[in-house]
Copies of this chain bind each other. A is one copy, B any other.
């Protein structure tokens, strides 16, 4: 959490967002402007703007902390698959040798580290690929979605799904071989597995 020129709005936005993501504000909680204003120490005005923003990002819906259902997650992943498969095809076409080395590097790092570092490396793998879409719209879209996806899976200790890194490696090889179609197929399977894994951990709904 960095603090640029901290105006009240940004402060409110970041504080509320953090509380939602780390679970302090649980899914379904009603957000009361005055309560938040008092807690954060600003007036209602910037709180409102922050809430509007979070509403647009999907983290708040109808004044309540969004609690994604299984169906919501499935929809999110449908969209995610569309974008990441597109990106991966572009990657196969346009990624430079240097970029490929960097990509490979995230896999090596994921194998040789543990805990948070693994998660960070895997995240970087996906981020690098999404960037290859060269489409700011898609990048921004996916960014928003990730917050909601995280919201759903935050209970899931940490992405420790078996085979995850192997799948990344397969995707990498397909890209390096400039086989966009195959990379896309592999990415789809990879994300479907991720979705299934997440759904399985939330038996109730």
Q: Does A193 contact B (CB under 8 A)?
A: no
Interface of A is mostly: helix
The segment from A23-31, A76-84, A92-100 that touches chain B is A76-84
Given A82-B83, A83-B82: A136 and B56 interface contact (C-beta under 8 Å): no
The closest CB in chain B to the CB of A80 belongs to B137
Interface size class of chain A, counting residues whose CB lies under 8 Å from the partner chain: 10 to 19
Q: Does A52 contact B (CB under 8 A)?
A: yes
The closest CB in chain B to the CB of A78 belongs to B135
Determine whether the beta carbon of A86 is less than 8 Å from that of B75. no
The closest CB in chain B to the CB of A134 belongs to B75
A residues near B (Cβ < 8 Å) are 48-49, 52-53, 56, 75-76, 78-79, 82-83, 86, 133, 135-138, 141
Other contacts beyond A76-B137, A141-B141: 13, CB < 8 A: A48-B49, A49-B52, A75-B135, A75-B136, A75-B137, A75-B138, A78-B133, A78-B135, A78-B138, A79-B135, A79-B137, A82-B83, A82-B86
